[in-house]
């Protein structure tokens, strides 16, 4: 009878974000595999959890992963946690989860805080499609190449960034994506100095440069996707056509809209027809 591996999310700042199920699970398992046992010991102490901890990070020798899988196979339930947030999300745990799954062990998520999702849910950028990019490279040349590859990505992009590199990275993004691209800046989420702002990349460079406190703590950047700018053009065209259609025929309104915006008359005409049919 093999046991179960619970992948347990822990708070990213505010300890009240610990879920009841996370506490129950961590109390009930035989062992907790943690990224850093000293960091997790403090969390466990806060919630009166006395389950033994063992280190499990992706740099462990593979025999440590084997040893943990053997314990699972013997029937010991186990939880996996990272220093903060959801394990495996720019955090260790992938190797253990993969090994457990390969041995037929049931892997059970115990969801909770995740900085990327908390940021996405609060910065006010489209959240229907997004790409989590994690940390960019620490090397400037590599970082610029990574950004170039993402330049035309239409989904909202989510990045984690270290405070000492935030200014440089945002400058690189403004350079590659354009200073007008919208960006959500989510700093110290759930903590005392929580800052959630939406502006353009150009404005964010100024914001961070003018206030050094914005270069401290933990930061998520949520960057609007490339087509969202096109969506805004569509919105402007709709506004213009809607106004023109109040006084003009479809033909005259689309001709004028095409003249004013530079878009093809056929496109404006088609959109004007759609708007009148609504
Ligand atoms: N596993 C974590 C999660 O679920 O979000 C992420 C761990 S990753 C090593 C740490 C990075 O996550 C930080 O550098 C920062 O970019 C982001 N982060 C974590 N906590 C945060 C918070 N409270 N506010 C803003 N960003 C945070």
Whether residues 216 and 123 fall in one domain? yes
- For the Cβ of 184 lying below 6 angstroms from any atom of ligand 1, the answer is no
- Residue 116 C-alpha to ligand 1 middle, in angstroms? 7
Whether residues 24 and 48 fall in one domain? yes
- Ligand 1 pocket check: which of 17, 87, 90 to mutate, most ligand atoms within 8 Å of Cβ? 90
Rounded CA gap, 180 and 22, in Å? 42
Alpha helices in the chain (DSSP H): 20-28, 37-46, 62-73, 94-102, 115-120, 140-150, 166-177, 201-210, 226-245, 250-261, 265-277
Whether residues 90 and 191 fall in one domain? no
Question: Residue 263, Cα to own-chain centre: how many angstroms?
Answer: 35
Say what the pLDDT of residue 2 is: 67
Q: Which among 113, 134, 163 is the end of a domain?
A: 113
- For the Cβ of 220 lying below 6 angstroms from any atom of ligand 1, the answer is yes
Q: Which among 201, 224, 247 is the end of a domain?
A: 224
Q: Are 221 and 184 in contact (CB under 8 A)?
A: yes
Q: Are 221 and 170 in contact (CB under 8 A)?
A: yes
Rounded CA gap, 252 and 33, in Å? 69
78 beta partners: 5, 31
Whether residues 122 and 85 fall in one domain? no
Q: Which among 224, 247, 264 is the end of a domain?
A: 224
Whether residues 164 and 101 fall in one domain? no
pLDDT per position as a tens digit, 40-91: 999 999 999 999 999 998 777 678 999 999 999 999 999 999 999 999 999 9
- Residue ranges of the chain with per-residue pLDDT less than 50: none
Two tokens, residue 242: 């809607």
- Residue 18 C-alpha to ligand 1 middle, in angstroms? 15
Q: Which ligand 1 atom is at minimum distance from the Cα of 87?
A: 1
- For the Cβ of 100 lying below 6 angstroms from any atom of ligand 1, the answer is no
Q: What domain range is 245 assigned to?
A: 229-277
Q: Measuring CA to CA, which residue among 159, 222, 219, 221 is closest to residue 193?
A: 219
Q: Measuring CA to CA, which residue among 3, 23, 11 is closest to residue 218?
A: 11
Say what the pLDDT of residue 57 is: 80
Say what the pLDDT of residue 63 is: 85
- For the Cβ of 12 lying below 6 angstroms from any atom of ligand 1, the answer is yes
Domains in the chain, number: 3
Q: Which ligand 1 atom is at minimum distance from the Cα of 119?
A: 25
Whether residues 124 and 88 fall in one domain? no
Say what the pLDDT of residue 126 is: 96
pTM for the whole structure:
0.84
Say what the pLDDT of residue 263 is: 86
């Amino acid at each position: 009878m093999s046991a179960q591996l619970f992948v347990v999310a822990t708070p990213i700042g505010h300890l009240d974000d610990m879920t009841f199920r996370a506490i129950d699970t961590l109390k009930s398992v035989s062992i907790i595999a943690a990224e850093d046992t000293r960091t997790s010991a403090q969390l466990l102490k806060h919630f009166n959890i006395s389950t033994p901890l063992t280190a499990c990070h992706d740099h462990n020798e593979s025999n440590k992963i084997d040893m943990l899988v053997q314990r699972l196979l013997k029937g010991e339930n186990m939880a996996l946690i990272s220093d903060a947030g959801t394990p495996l999300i720019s955090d260790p745990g992938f190797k253990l989860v993969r090994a457990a799954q390969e041995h037929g062990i049931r892997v059970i998520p115990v969801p909770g805080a995740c900085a990327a999702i908390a940021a996405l849910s609060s910065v006010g950028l489209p959240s229907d499609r997004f790409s989590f990019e994690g940390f960019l490279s620490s090397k400037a040349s590599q970082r610029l190449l990574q950004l170039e590859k993402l330049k035309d990505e239409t989904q909202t992009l989510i990045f984690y960034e270290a405070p000492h590199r935030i200014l440089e990275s945002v400058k690189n993004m403004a350079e590659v994506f354009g200073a007008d691209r919208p960006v959500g800046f989510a700093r110290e989420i759930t903590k005392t100095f929580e800052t959630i702002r939406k502006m353009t990349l150009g404005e964010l460079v100024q914001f961070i440069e003018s206030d050094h406190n914005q270069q401290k703590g933990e930061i998520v950047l949520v960057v609007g996707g490339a087509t969202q700018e096109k969506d805004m053009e569509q919105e402007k065209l709709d506004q213009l056509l809607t106004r023109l259609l109040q006084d003009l025929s479809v033909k005259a309104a689309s001709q004028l809209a095409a003249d004013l915006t530079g878009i093809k008359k056929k496109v404006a005409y088609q959109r004007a027809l759609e708007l009148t049919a609504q």
